[in-house]
Structure 1
Amino acid sequence: MSTNSQWITAQEYTECLIEIGEKFLHYFHKRRNSLPLHIQIACGMLSLSDLKEMLLAKPHLANVRDDFGRTPMMVYWHSILYSLLLEHGANTNQCDNDGNTVLMYHRKNTEMVELLLSYGADINAKNNEGISLIAMAQREGLPIQPLLDAGAIWQPVTRDKKNEIFLNCLPNESIEVLSRIVSDNVISEETYHHARVWSGCHCQKKFEWLRQLENSFTYPKEKDFTEEEAKIFEKEFRLRKCDVESEGFKTLLNNMKECLWDLSALNKYLVRDPAVLSGVSNVEILEILLKAGADPNLGMEWEKNTDAGSILYSAVELRNAKAVRLLLAAGANPTSGTSYMECDDTNVACAIRNNDLDILKMLIEAKADLDFAIRCNRTPIITAIKENNLPALKMLIEAGANPNLADLYGRIPAESLDKVNNSPELIDYFMTVTAS
């Protein structure tokens, strides 16, 4: 390498040497006795043209072995260099001193595995310990199904590793692979139960397959999740409770009922979070959670935290009469609302603005405070006047709302009357009521 042509200063040259040294230590720590070619490849000191020129001049270098029996194909670098080595005769079935093949060195790189197989690598070769590529994949949690598809011979899973390997394979492997593991050695009851919880949350096909194995286990009916299983369920539960449709949520609960065998045991997980109803929009899901004991007031006294919009307010705002009815029946505070971002709105005022007299009637029957306003100049009476909503105004007054309640500045509702915006009928009615 010429320093004159590539490096302007001695400092730059020194920095380059340090960088190469760091790469050398990274790739060859405890791997001394390596050949210069291996070091050059690993440290990125060879360009494609340099390597090609070298291989054309000396083809045997494609398979040259260091003191550990490693060929250049066993040195980790860029796949382009590997392709060049293969094109110039690199042996894909070469083994190091421990019998590990090139394919085994690259087992974590699916693209390289495919490339090596296309050049004739033996997928069923074993190292000196009798371990094959698929056995390595089983132990390390690497993809197994692609190896089987490529012709790998299944290696029975040992009894001491079966539970660990089964759970490692559960998320990403096919039912075929899982079936092979179970057929080698029956998994433990704890592993089976954990697998049912996971698949019941994430993969219905695997859950149904595991259900078919139920007779192979005699474990007692569970009454609780393990800590890890609870985390798996609760993470999926938080997602599905916010679904627009209810089918996925109901499927999840049905699966978990099978796992726990006890509805009351499941219910405690559904309502563990006092604010579990936050984000729930589907009425069926809402009803299920309320029946399980969910707090319709999110575990807090709304008047002390008015910035938090109540679940009931959301239902009123969306004109969801069924949800309003369910929440009120479960004990939701009818006087709640929200003051978030100075919105300053209540359930009653929202129903009036929406001209939703059915919901307004439900709120009145639930004993909502008809004189309450987050700010005292925005009472339901004033809202009805400003909205020119005579039917709502009549309902409020007939239910006991005070038509003469003054605001913070001493202004009474009558001062909100406007001959331009209010109908003569509303003005006449209100003046008659307040005069009596």
Structure 2
Amino acid sequence: MLLDFMDFFTDHSLINLVDKYGRTPIFYSDDYYFTKFLIRNGANINHIDNFGRTLLFYRWPKNEELIDEIFNSGVDINIKDYKGLTAFSFSLFAQQPDVFLKHISKLQEKEIVIGNLYPTSSEAIKKLINANITIRFNDVIKIHYPLILCQQEVLSIKELMAGDIHFSRPKIIISECSNITSITNFDNIFRKIS
């Protein structure tokens, strides 16, 4: 069945077909073999969508082998979107941060602007700081977990902010699943959990 599906893609020249968001099929593939097939058949892994982002900006790659395959196929992690952020600003902390960190030497700039926080962000940020990467928070940061469940993670972020992260008072968007539950700032968050 998968082979028939793959043949359909090559027979109908769909490998780099662009949808209304400017994304190609590889942006949506979360299957290791299908992604490998797309790459081997000419999928542009550095294709930029309507937001200036490549496939690594999005959280879909959850499989370590799949992420490694994308990196080893030459994806450019230095591409910035229209807001000046790189894939590390988005996906680094969502899925498999250690796999992303294995490829940190490919990063040309030694500064990462963080736009999203996940339950494992503080550990990934510590590893980046230890690799002499400067961390800066974006003006707007989206927190992807309920604060009530991740108080220790928030306190770890607070400790890092005290010494190693550059930031001006960013606005914080707190979301649970895809629902925004509040818009606030770090001072209010720290008061709530202290």
TMscore range, shorter length: 0.5 to 0.7
Shift of 1:53: 2.4
In structure 2, give the amino acid aligned to 1:177: L
5+ residue gaps, structure 2: 138-151, 164-190
Shift of 1:181: 7.1
Q: Does 1:177 align with 2:128?
A: yes
Distance 1:141 1:115, change over 3 A: closer
Distance 1:96 1:76, change over 3 A: same
Distance 1:227 1:105, change over 3 A: closer
Distance 1:106 1:121, change over 3 A: farther
Normalised to the residue count of structure 1, the TM-score between the two structures is 0.27
State the alpha-carbon separation in 2 of the partners of residues 72 and 112 from structure 1: 15
> What fraction of aligned residue pairs are identical, expressed as a percent?
21
Shift of 1:145: 2.6
Matched residue, 2:49? 96
Shift of 1:112: 2.3
In structure 2, give the amino acid aligned to 1:122: D
Matched residue, 2:140? none
Shift of 1:120: 1.5
Matched residue, 1:153? 109
Equivalence map 1:6-405=2 (5 Å): 47-58=1-12, 60-106=13-59, 108-109=61-62, 110-137=64-91, 143=97, 145-151=101-107, 153-157=109-113, 169-170=121-122, 172-173=123-124, 175-179=126-130, 180=132, 194-195=155-156
Distance 1:115 1:156, change over 3 A: closer
Shift of 1:116: 1.1
Matched residue, 1:303? none
Distance 1:106 1:93, change over 3 A: farther
Normalised to the residue count of structure 2, the TM-score between the two structures is 0.54
Cα distance per residue 1:319-371 (max 9 Å; x no partner):
xxxxxxxxxxxxxxxxxxxxxxxxxxxxxxxxxxxxxxxxxxxxxxxxxxxxx
Structure 1 or 2, whichever has the larger Rg, is 1
Asked if 2 retains the 8 angstrom alpha-carbon contact of 1:107 and 1:113, the reply is no
Shift of 1:77: 4.4
State the alpha-carbon separation in 2 of the partners of residues 92 and 181 from structure 1: 25
Shift of 1:55: 3.9
Distance 1:54 1:112, change over 3 A: same
In structure 2, give the amino acid aligned to 1:155: E
Distance 1:139 1:55, change over 3 A: closer
Shift of 1:92: 0.4
Shift of 1:174: 7.2
Distance 1:114 1:81, change over 3 A: same
The CA RMSD over aligned residues, in Å, is: 4.2
State the alpha-carbon separation in 2 of the partners of residues 93 and 51 from structure 1: 23
SS at 2:26's partner residue?
helix
Asked if 2 retains the 8 angstrom alpha-carbon contact of 1:93 and 1:103, the reply is no
The structure with the largest strand share of the pair is 2
State the alpha-carbon separation in 2 of the partners of residues 88 and 119 from structure 1: 12
Shift of 1:76: 4.0
State the alpha-carbon separation in 1 of the partners of residues 133 and 120 from structure 2: 11
Shift of 1:132: 0.4
Asked if 2 retains the 8 angstrom alpha-carbon contact of 1:63 and 1:90, the reply is yes
Matched residue, 1:356? none
Distance 1:106 1:113, change over 3 A: farther
Asked if 1 retains the 8 angstrom alpha-carbon contact of 2:30 and 2:60, the reply is no
Distance 1:141 1:152, change over 3 A: farther
Asked if 1 retains the 8 angstrom alpha-carbon contact of 2:6 and 2:37, the reply is yes
